[in-house]
Amino acid sequence: MKSAYIHIPFCEHICHYCDFNKFFIQNQPVDDYLVSLEAEMKNTIEREGKSRVDTIFIGGGTPTSLSVRQLEHLMNSIHKVLEPSGQIIEFSVEANPDDLNAEKLSFLKEAGVNRLSLGVQTFEDELLKKIGRVHETKDVFIAVEQARKAGFQNISLDLMFGLPGQTTLHLERSLQTALSLDAEHYSVYSLIVEPKTIFYNLMQKGRLHLPAQETEAEMYELVMENMDHHGVKQYEISNFSKPGFESRHNLTYWNNEHYYGFGAGAHGYVNGKRTVNAGPLKKYMALVDEKGFPYTEESDVSFKEKIEEEMFLGLRKTAGVNKHVFQEKFGQPVEAFFAETVQKLEKQGLLLNGTTNISLTHKGKLLGNEVFQSFLK
């Protein structure tokens, strides 16, 4: 075991595109939730056995919507139960630029957090309003400056493209501004309109005007070109970093390795089993109280699922799937299971089948979902 994901499902506001498990923080049982979260972590460690945790990622929701007192409760639980070593490789917390202040940043740093992931999305204030964000561009500059003063040397900025009303010029400006902040890491995702979101409801009514598919492809090309030009290397379809600052936690997912998933709505993958936690707060807390675990689903991952996941997760990485690692994991070479699929995709110019790795071509990155689906038998 190397990684733990911890979900804090509370937000000061709900963004129009977000389909993660989240709740308005006002009048929510935050303190009771943190008690249940600690109990879930403790019970899981007791059941699965103690192992070193190398990466921790606290996501949401908005973890920094918690007060300093509540963050202290959370961090005490993490250190008491998970006992992350003093040499923990990566301890990340997601944050909204407008939720941060010097006190919270100082506390997080002292608690062992060494990486911040800021939800910026765009540096166009009008676009921020359209997507339901409440921060402004100036807040990002203030947050980054305060984080640097607090001693953070690993900052990631999240950006989005394909937003309603967004043009390539908007994106170009946002990229240039983001790069001027000299962050160590950038995650740049295209908008996906998910059910149960404000954007989905608008789309159903014909009131959501998105860039054309061709424009979205141009935007992705623009992202890759700008990052490369500034020496920020792409290491995954949507992720870019300075050398040595790749997200070690997210690489756990893409390398198809095991991780704990704690909190309401979290998913875990431990000892060959996938778990899905209850999303509603009352149900989550009741299950932890009654059964010790909040699972609504718990299932063994079949051999077939494991090899499929190894391919479509591994191919997200620029390096692709390592053939030697695949054979060590599954006892046979990739070709024993996917020879025809690999050959077909290679002929289409979507895959590069090298001596040691199978990876996406540039064209393959643009048609990633099509490639990934090819490995689902």
Domains of the chain: 3-254 (3.20.20.70), 303-373 (1.10.10.920)
User: Which pLDDT does position 112 carry in this prediction?
Assistant: 95
Q: Is 245 helix (H, G, I), strand (E, B) or coil?
A: coil
Residue/partner pairs of 146-151 with CB below 8 Å, 24 or more apart: 146/100, 146/101, 146/102, 146/105, 147/100, 147/105, 147/116, 149/102, 149/105, 150/102, 150/105, 150/106, 150/108, 150/109, 151/109
User: Which pLDDT does position 24 carry in this prediction?
Assistant: 87
User: Which pLDDT does position 49 carry in this prediction?
Assistant: 84
Sites in the chain below the pLDDT cut of 70: 1, 86
pTM of the predicted model, to two decimals? 0.96
Which residues are registered as beta bridge partners of 263?
Answer: none
User: Which pLDDT does position 196 carry in this prediction?
Assistant: 87
Which residues are registered as beta bridge partners of 260?
Answer: 4
* Alpha helices by DSSP H, the chain: 30-48, 68-81, 102-110, 125-130, 137-149, 168-180, 198-204, 213-229, 248-254, 281-291, 303-314, 323-330, 335-347, 362-366, 368-373
User: Which pLDDT does position 116 carry in this prediction?
Assistant: 98
Q: Is 261 helix (H, G, I), strand (E, B) or coil?
A: strand
Neighbours of 70 (CB within 10 A): 18
Query: Burial of 189 by CB count in 10 Å (0-12 exposed, 13-18 middle, 19+ buried)?
Result: middle
For residue 57, the one-letter residue type is F
* Structure-token pair, residue 310: 């190894």
Question: What is d(CA 269, CA 252) in angstroms, rounded to the nearest whole number?
Answer: 11
Q: What are phi and psi of 79, to 5 degrees?
A: -70, -35
Question: What is d(CA 343, CA 357) in angstroms, rounded to the nearest whole number?
Answer: 14
User: Which pLDDT does position 1 carry in this prediction?
Assistant: 58
